[in-house]
Every structure is written in C-alpha cells, then in structure tokens.
Amino acid sequence: MNAHAFTLAGAELQARGSGALFWPAQNLLCVSDLHLGKSERMARRVGATLPPYDTAETLARLDADLAETRAETVICLGDSFDDREAAHALPHSEKIWISRLQAGRRWVWIAGNHDPGPLDLGGAHLAELPRGPLTFRHVARPGQAGEVSGHYHPKARISLRGRTISRPCFLIDDARVILPAYGTYTGGLRSSSEALAALMCPEAVAILTGPSPRPVPMPR
C-alpha cells in the first residue's frame, strides 16, 4: 500500500503517496489545494505560457485515487480553483470529467482563499465540515484539535542516501494534519517556515509524498 497509516483524534487515517488523505472507516478521501485552471490564470494575468495540462493531470491522479480507494465521500479542502475566471474557463471536457468523478458520491467543496463562490459543478459548498472527531477546513487554527487542513502547501527537505530531496509533505502532530497541495502547478512552503513551525508541536512528523511515504521528524 502506497500510504502511511496514522491516528488523529482516534480516527485511523492514511497519508497516501499521491498527497490525498484517506479515512477508511468513513470511506472518505480528502484532497487540498487542487488549484484547477492555474495555467489558464497564469496566461491570462501575466502572459506565462505554462503547458495547459495541469488540470487534466490533477484530475487523472484524483481519478486513480478514487478508483483505488473506492471512496464514497470526497472533500476538496479549499483552493480547488485558482480563481473565479479559471473555474469558469475549464474546458467542457474537464467539467464533464469532474461530474463523472462526482457521480454516486457525496462531494464537498470547502471554501478557500482562492475559491470562487458556488459553482455549477455539483456538490455541496461549505466553510468547514465537522465529521466525527475531525473538522475539515482550509486554514489551520491554533488551539484546535482533530483538525484537517491545507492552505500552506507544506514541503520538506531531507537527506537520503547522500543526496538532498525536497517534496510536498503531510505535517502531523497530536492535534492536526496539514495536507500537501494536490494540484500539479503548486509551489510549497518549507516546513521550517515560521508559520508552520508555530502551528506544529515539537514532536510533529513530516510524511513526504512519493512512492514510499514514511514519517520523519518535521524539518525545522
């Protein structure tokens, strides 16, 4: 299994190598910061010509995660779209793809700082979602417990077999998990940043995404 199992607030969760979080007991898959349509937004605003394949690649990975987990509930944890115009500019084929992924599932769009208002894409639109012992929201709040959030696009740098690698990562402690960005064209904030160091307890771990996710002490 390409995932690392851990427990948060009594919930047994899996940090998948793709960057998705799976909760088997609830048959729930959570992803954060898809930033769909980023290449379109970059071209429109600054004239950058990134290859316009980011949304299709992100949806393909989500499709694969759903096929493997057979999740019946999907939570998109905010910043699912890069801005309002990018959301409306999605090609018809990609809107149909999203509709196909939603079919037969409960689908929740959590509001993020980039997100537009309710879209004509199906699913529920919420500010946050309490579910059992966990609360799903976009931005972590100090002092909260059982919190699942995103927003920061955490990345960690470690030395492995004589070389340094840097990858998106999950950050986990006794109170919360912060998910990596799931989208293709997304940067990241080092785990050693002041913002993340202040949120995570000293015993926090980082789980790097990739073929063999495993915990390491959170680089600070």
* Strand partners for 15: 4, 21
Tens digits of per-residue pLDDT, 88-99?
668 888 889 999
CA distance 139 to 152: 8
pLDDT in tens, 152-195: 999 998 877 778 888 999 999 999 999 999 987 677 899 999 99
What pLDDT is stored for residue 41 in this prediction?
Answer: 47
Q: How many domains is the chain partitioned into structurally? A: 1
CA–CA–CA angle 118, 184, 58 (5° rounding): 60
**Residue owning tokens 């995103």:** 150
Q: Structure pTM?
A: 0.91
Where helices occur in the chain by DSSP H, the ranges are: 38-46, 54-69, 84-88, 92-102, 194-199
Q: What pLDDT was estimated at residue 182?
A: 95
> What DSSP letter does each residue of 79-132 carry, written as one string?
--BSSHHHHHTS-HHHHHHHHHHHTTSEEEEE--SS--SS-TT-SEEES-EEET
Pick the more confident residue, 44 or 157. Answer: 157
Residue 19 has pLDDT above 90, yes or no: yes
Residues 190 and 156: beta-carbon distance below 8 Å: yes
**pLDDT number for residue 184:** 74
Q: Which pLDDT belongs to residue 160?
A: 73
Q: What residue numbers bound the domain in which 74 lies?
A: 3-217
In a 13 Å sphere around the CA of 5, the CA atoms on its Cβ side amount to 6
Structure confidence at residue 151 as a pLDDT band (50, 70, 90)? very high
pLDDT for res 185: 65
Looking at the predicted structure, is the pLDDT value of residue 14 above 90?
A: yes
Mean pLDDT score, 59-88: 88
Q: How confident is the model at residue 44 (pLDDT cuts 50, 70, 90)?
A: very low
CATH of the domain at 185: 3.60.21
Q: How far apart are CA 4 and CA 19, in angstroms?
A: 11
Query: What is the rounded distance in angstroms from the CA atom of residue 162 to the CA atom of residue 69?
Result: 35
Structure tokens at 30: 């959570």
Residue 52 confidence (pLDDT) above 90 = no
